[in-house]
Every structure is written in structure tokens, then in C-alpha cells.
């Protein structure tokens, strides 16, 4: 099959140029291709505006610094680029930007060079960005919640970097995919870390908790957002090590990510989450945080 026929051809950004996505090309010697040597960002766009862009840009800058890739384009330069791509994508789909939810993907790799593990600080990074239509959770998932499975967190110890080396995340996700579940909730040394591409929240006695922001989890942009939403809603918010038994004994479990926003986990390893009549159903704290999230999106 000629993949070029099937690939989307709306505009993307590659190394200073805007060109159709299906025509964009990177060398096979790109260190992103050879080593997974790069970082990325995923940013939701509501009404044509990237949501919490300053936070995403700051996280991108942190990832770049951690992996020592020099890239100095500031938040305003990126915002102009994103604006161009968002409008081009909307025009391509025949819709007004105000009527669709979009997703920006940005990837920066260390650049193109003969294969060598050693980092050459002189390389020019490969800079890529595209916009796609957001695929939010279904109405059914929102109404009934989702099933997840648990697994040992076998990923590396630099989970705080939004690295494009995602093989371990993909293998982790496959565990739940094979079980027809939506995410893989991971534990390391008996404590909750996160899911393969989402953060995990435990609700207990009205308190909203997640794993500490350390090197074992990616600090989702929704960490800060949930802190704000909890403050608004008068809910207590706490980051601390959470034992496996506390996860299974939660009143509610939640997933957050750019695409899932906030989504209830109602079953983990086949066990209904929650207590009494509430067990296995999206809970009241989920409903409040979801409503509050929808308000701040506008
Ligand atoms: N994933 N943890 C991991 C390992 C992730 O990959 C993600 C995001 C999150 C949530 O981060 P945020 O709230 O900033 O989306 C947590 C993105 C969406 C992805 O890889 O597509």
C-alpha cells in the first residue's frame, strides 16, 4: 500500500518550514530515529487557543535542559507557529477553529549525525510540530468510567523527562490493551507511580492525592491544574507516596492527561473501585473536577 495516499496532508512545521504532513521528511540518521534521542510535548487546543501553553512550554524547556538539547525558541515564537498550524488544520478540516478541539504534537530531537552514542553539542536539533483533531474519551467512558489493569513499573528512572524514547511506555500500554482495558496503572516498590501515558489520582475521604513529583513520574500539566481546581472546589490536594493497597481501597480513582482531561477509573484488575452503592461507578469528586475542568477550558 502506498502510505502517502492515506496520510494526512494538512500543514506541519519542520525545521523552519511549513509543508504538507505527508511530504515532511527527516534523515534516517536523525538521532530521534536512531536512538529515540529527543523530547516531545502534547498540548490541547480549545477554541483555537493552546490550553495552558506557558506550562507546556516551560515543561518542554525543562525536558530540553535535562537531555542537553540546545533549542532557544521562546514561548511567543512557538505560540505564533502553533497559531499558524491550528488555523491551517481547521481550514483543512473545513471547520472553524472555535468549533473543534485540536491537539498539538511537538517533537525536538538532537539532530542528524553519523551514529555515535556520544553527544555532539554542535548539532542542530530537528524541530517538528503538527496539529491533529483531538480524540476525547467517548460519552460512554465518561458516563460509566473505564477499566484499567495494574503492572510493575519497568520503565527507566528518568520518567520526569518527556522523552520520545517510549518503548517501555508502549509495552506497558500493551498490557492493558491486551486485556481490553484503557490504561496500565503502574507500581514501583509497592507504590503508585502513574499510568503509561496519564497520571493517576486517588480520592480518599474527600482528599485528592497523587504520587510525588519526582524522577519516577512525568509531571503532567494537569498536576498543577488539579491543584488549582481542588483549591476552587475546597478539596484537599496532597502529593505523597501512595501504597498499592490504598489504590485498591480508594473511594475514587482518576486518570488525567491532555486528551483524557480527567477520567474515572471504575475497575482495576477487575475489582470495582469505591465502596457501597458507589462501587464501580464514577464518583462525586470526579463529577466536580470534570465540571470545573470544563469551565476553565473556555
Ligand atoms: N501523555 N504521564 C505520562 C507518562 C504521560 O505520557 C502523560 C501524557 C502524562 C500526563 O501529562 P499531561 O497532563 O501533561 O498530558 C503523564 C501524552 C498525552 C502523550 O504521550 O500522548
* Least confident span in 92-96, 101-105, 179-183: 92-96
Pairing of strands 183-188, 146-152: parallel
Q: What is the mean pLDDT of residues 202-229?
A: 98
Q: Is the CB of 256 under 6 A from ligand 1?
A: yes
CA 40, CA 85: separation in Å to the nearest integer? 17
CA 273, CA 264: separation in Å to the nearest integer? 10
Q: Cα–Cα distances in Å, from 249 out to 244, 245, 266?
A: 9, 6, 12
Question: How far from chain centre, in Å, is Cα 230?
Answer: 20
- The DSSP code for 199 is E
Q: Is the CB of 254 under 6 A from ligand 1?
A: no
| Ligand 1 nearest-atom number relative to CA 258 | 15
- The DSSP code for 275 is S
For domain 139-297, give its CATH number from 1.20.120.160, 3.20.10.10, 3.40.1160.10, 3.90.1150.10.
Answer: 3.20.10.10
Q: What is the pLDDT of residues 61-86, one digit of tens each?
A: 999 999 999 988 999 999 999 999 99
Domain 11-133 and domain 139-297, same fold? Reply is no
CA 273, CA 15: separation in Å to the nearest integer? 47
Candidate list 49, 135, 162, 295, residue with the active-site label: 162
Q: Is residue 295 among the annotated active site residues? A: no
**Quick one: pLDDT band at residue 2, thresholds 50, 70, 90?**
low
Residue 3 has pLDDT above 60, yes or no: no
Phi/psi for 205 (5° steps) reads 50, 45
Residue 280 has pLDDT above 50, yes or no: yes
Q: Which burial class, exposed, middle or buried, applies to 61 when counting CB atoms under 10 A from its CB (0-12, 13-18, 19+)?
A: middle
Q: Is the CB of 197 under 6 A from ligand 1?
A: yes
Q: What is the mean pLDDT of residues 202-225?
A: 98
Domain 11-133: top CATH class:
alpha beta
pLDDT for the residue numbered 98: 83
| Ligand 1 nearest-atom number relative to CA 259 | 18
Q: Is the CB of 218 under 6 A from ligand 1?
A: yes
Say whether pTM exceeds 0.75.
Answer: yes
Percent of the chain with pLDDT over 90: 94
Pocket test for ligand 1, best of 157, 173, 197 (most atoms within 8 A of CB): 197
Domain ranges of the chain: 11-133, 139-297
CA 80, CA 140: separation in Å to the nearest integer? 36
Q: Is the CB of 186 under 6 A from ligand 1?
A: no
Amino acid at each position: 500500500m502506498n502510505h502517502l495516499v492515506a496520510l494526512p496532508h494538512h500543514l506541519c512545521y519542520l525545521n523552519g518550514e511549513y509543508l504538507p504532513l505527508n511530504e515532511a521528511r527527516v534523515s534516517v540518521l536523525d538521532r530521534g530515529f536512531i536512538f529515540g534521542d529527543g523530547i516531545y510535548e502534547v498540548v490541547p487546543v480549545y477554541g483555537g487557543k493552546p490550553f495552558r501553553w506557558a506550562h507546556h512550554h516551560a515543561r518542554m524547556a525543562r525536558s530540553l535542559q535535562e537531555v542537553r538539547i540546545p533549542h532557544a525558541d521562546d514561548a511567543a515564537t512557538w505560540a505564533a507557529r502553533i497559531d499558524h498550524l491550528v488555523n491551517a488544520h481547521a481550514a483543512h478540516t473545513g471547520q472553524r477553529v472555535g468549533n473543534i478541539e485540536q491537539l498539538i504534537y511537538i517533537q525536538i530531537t538532537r539532530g542528524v549525525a553519523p551514529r555515535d552514542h556520544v553527544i555532539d553539542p554542535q548539532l542542530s536539533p530537528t524541530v517538528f510540530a503538527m496539529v491533529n483533531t483531538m480524540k476525547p474519551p467517548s460519552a460512554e467512558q465518561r458516563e460509566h468510567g473505564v477499566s484499567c489493569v495494574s503492572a510493575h513499573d519497568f520503565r527507566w528512572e528518568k520518567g520526569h523527562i518527556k522523552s520520545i524514547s517510549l518503548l517501555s511506555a508502549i509495552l506497558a500500554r500493551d498490557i492493558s490493551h491486551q486485556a481490553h482495558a484503557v490504561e496500565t496503572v503502574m507500581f514501583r516498590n509497592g507504590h503508585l507511580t502513574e499510568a503509561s501515558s496519564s497520571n493517576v489520582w486517588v480520592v480518599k475521604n474527600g482528599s485528592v492525592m497523587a504520587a510525588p513529583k519526582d524522577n519516577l513520574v512525568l509531571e503532567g500539566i494537569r498536576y498543577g491544574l488539579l491543584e488549582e481546581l481542588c483549591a476552587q472546589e475546597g478539596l484537599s490536594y496532597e502529593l505523597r507516596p501512595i501504597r498499592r493497597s490504598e489504590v485498591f481501597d480508594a473511594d475514587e480513582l482518576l486518570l488525567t492527561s491532555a486528551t483524557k482531561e480527567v477520567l474515572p477509573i471504575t475497575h482495576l484488575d477487575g475489582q470495582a473501585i469505591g465502596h457501597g452503592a458507589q462501587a464501580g461507578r464514577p464518583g462525586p469528586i470526579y463529577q466536580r473536577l470534570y465540571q470545573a475542568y470544563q469551565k476553565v477550558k473556555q
